Chains A and B, each alone.
Chain A
Amino acid sequence: MIRVALIVLFTLIIGLLLSIWTAGLSGFPHLIDWVGLILFYWVVALPARVGLSYALLSGFSLDVLSASPLGHYALIMTLICLFGQLICLRFRKMDAVSQVALVFMVAGVARFLDVWLASFESASVAVTPPLLTAFCSALVWPLVMLVLRSFRRYHGLTEW
């Protein structure tokens, strides 16, 4: 259990770093929701082991690193986790194109929730268009899935 936790947390920290590194590269911060994608993969792959606690932890980390009120990204990550838990069995049987389409929808809903919450917090403007984030996140999903699946199999992590 501790091994699973360490491996999942390690990949989530890599996701946080990728979010920060890629934020400065283009004019659009958060072009790809790395943390959301990585969390979604682990929830779909190991639904009995990865759930709400990981979603809250990664969400709170994003909250403090992005100077958002506590709970903002925690709520979004919880939503992604909930989607993952609901559709994990069906999702695993889908072909790559269907998976990309579903990831686009999940990332899109998460990003619109992000914009909606931000609109209550301050006079913020979505610097990165929500659908662009969803589109780019969906595009890199096959790569994220391949890398994380290889990583999971290398460490012999199974669902039970």
Chain B
Amino acid sequence: MALWLADRQTDWLDPARQVALNAADFVFDIAAMPGNIYEALSDASRSEEALFNRVDQLERENLVLQAKLQQMVALRAENTRLRALMNAGPRERNDVLATEIIAVAPNPNRQIVAIDHGTDDRVFLGQPLIDSEGLLGQVIELAPDTAQVLLISDASHSVPVQIIRNSVRAIAEGTGDLNRLRIEYLSTTTDVEIGDQLVTSGLGGRFPMGYPVAKVVAVERADGERFATVWAQPLAQLSKARHGLLLFPEGTLAADTRMYSPVSTQ
């Protein structure tokens, strides 16, 4: 009980906790083995025709993405010129590192997943993790080979967001439900509608600006209440995502990163 109080109230036990986490790290590695073996076996058992079809499909998707990327480059250049005209600084850009979600932490009260990159890969506390659809969460515990990520739907998690349509800022709080976020402290007169898309606002400096977070699914304006209750659905596949991207400040990852080449986003 004293230990629990000490670890909860102070950071005296952080070194001991780190040593214990490093020692227990192998459990996550072993836990990931069946999934890796299954993937290897299913890769090996695929027929040649299925593989050719898959490559064909990926090539087509790649072509579409390349076309979109060309448009993005032109838009980015235009955006940079406009920002220069307004004397605004260049917008923050990020490097990314592909990572795999290897396990769900055995915690019935919080929503935490483990990923297969840790301090050895320069992962740091508070680092954002995204998937192809949107923001997944942030790193809260680190070991050499693994890290634990708190999902945005956890009840103790909040993320500063803004509505794309009108730039209204708000805070999206987790509810403990993987499919629901609550948007707090929007007055009943605020212009928010069902279908509005929420992106990270960049306030607080924890999450870079402009990453998709959620979509508004319900707006409740009760008579006599000062604030509306707004519910949003996370865009990231919180319960299904197998892979994610760790966001690094631009230039953090060396070009010869040993696992994956960095890809610039935004």
Q: Which among B24-32, B90-98, B228-236, B254-262 touches the partner chain?
A: B24-32
- For chain B, which range describes its interface: under 10, 10 to 19, 20 to 34, or 35 or more residues? 35 or more
Residue in B1, B4, B31, B140 whose CB lies within 8 Å of A67:
B140
* A20, B105: Cα distance in complex, Å: 6
Residue in A17, A28, A70 whose CB lies within 8 Å of B30:
A17
Q: Which among B40-48, B109-117, B192-200, B219-227 touches the partner chain?
A: B109-117
Question: In the complex, which residues 128-180 of chain B have their Cβ closer than 8 Å to any Cβ of chain A?
Answer: 140-141, 148, 150, 154-156, 175-176, 178
A108 CB, nearest partner CB in chain B, Å: 13
Question: In the complex, which residues 130-150 of chain A have their Cβ closer than 8 Å to any Cβ of chain B?
Answer: 133
Total residue contacts A-B, CB cutoff 8 A? 122
- CB-defined contacts of B20 to chain A, threshold 8 Å: 60-61, 63-64, 70
Please tell me if the beta carbons of A65 and B27 are within 8 angstroms of each other in the complex: yes
Closest A residue to B21 by beta carbon equals A64
With A70-B20, A123-B156 as contacts: A65 and B105 at CB distance below 8 Å? yes
B186 close to A (CB within 8 Å): no
Please tell me if the beta carbons of B109 and A20 are within 8 angstroms of each other in the complex: no
Please tell me if the beta carbons of B108 and A128 are within 8 angstroms of each other in the complex: yes
Please tell me if the beta carbons of B110 and A30 are within 8 angstroms of each other in the complex: no
With A13-B27, A20-B27, A67-B140 as contacts: A30 and B107 at CB distance below 8 Å? yes
Residue in A13, A21, A68 whose CB lies within 8 Å of B107:
A68
With A17-B31, A65-B24 as contacts: A71 and B109 at CB distance below 8 Å? no
**Interface SS of chain B: helix, strand, loop or mixed?**
mixed
The number of residues on chain A lying at the interface, defined by a beta carbon within 8 Å of a beta carbon of chain B, is 42
- CB-defined contacts of A30 to chain B, threshold 8 Å: 106-108
B103 close to A (CB within 8 Å): yes
A109 close to B (CB within 8 Å): no
- CB-defined contacts of B31 to chain A, threshold 8 Å: 17, 20-21
- CB-defined contacts of B6 to chain A, threshold 8 Å: 71
With A69-B4, A71-B7, A115-B109 as contacts: A64 and B17 at CB distance below 8 Å? yes
Please tell me if the beta carbons of B7 and A125 are within 8 angstroms of each other in the complex: no
* A122, B106: Cα distance in complex, Å: 17
Question: In the complex, which residues 20-37 of chain A have their Cβ closer than 8 Å to any Cβ of chain B?
Answer: 20-21, 23-24, 27-30
- CB-defined contacts of B175 to chain A, threshold 8 Å: 125
B172 CB, nearest partner CB in chain A, Å: 14
- CB-defined contacts of A126 to chain B, threshold 8 Å: 108-109, 176
A117 close to B (CB within 8 Å): yes
With A20-B28, A21-B34 as contacts: A67 and B7 at CB distance below 8 Å? no
With A17-B30, A70-B20, A71-B4 as contacts: A122 and B104 at CB distance below 8 Å? no
- If A30-B108, A64-B17 are given as contacts, then 20 extra A-B residue pairs at C-beta distance below 8 Å, sorted by A number, are A13-B27, A20-B28, A20-B103, A24-B103, A27-B239, A29-B106, A30-B106, A65-B27, A66-B105, A67-B150, A69-B4, A70-B17, A71-B1, A71-B5, A71-B7, A74-B3, A114-B109, A124-B110, A125-B175, A126-B176
A interface residue numbers (CB < 8 A to B): 13, 16-17, 19-21, 23-24, 27-30, 60-72, 74-75, 111, 114-115, 117-118, 120-128, 133
6 nearest A-B residue pairs (beta carbon): A125-B176, A71-B4, A30-B108, A66-B107, A71-B3, A19-B106
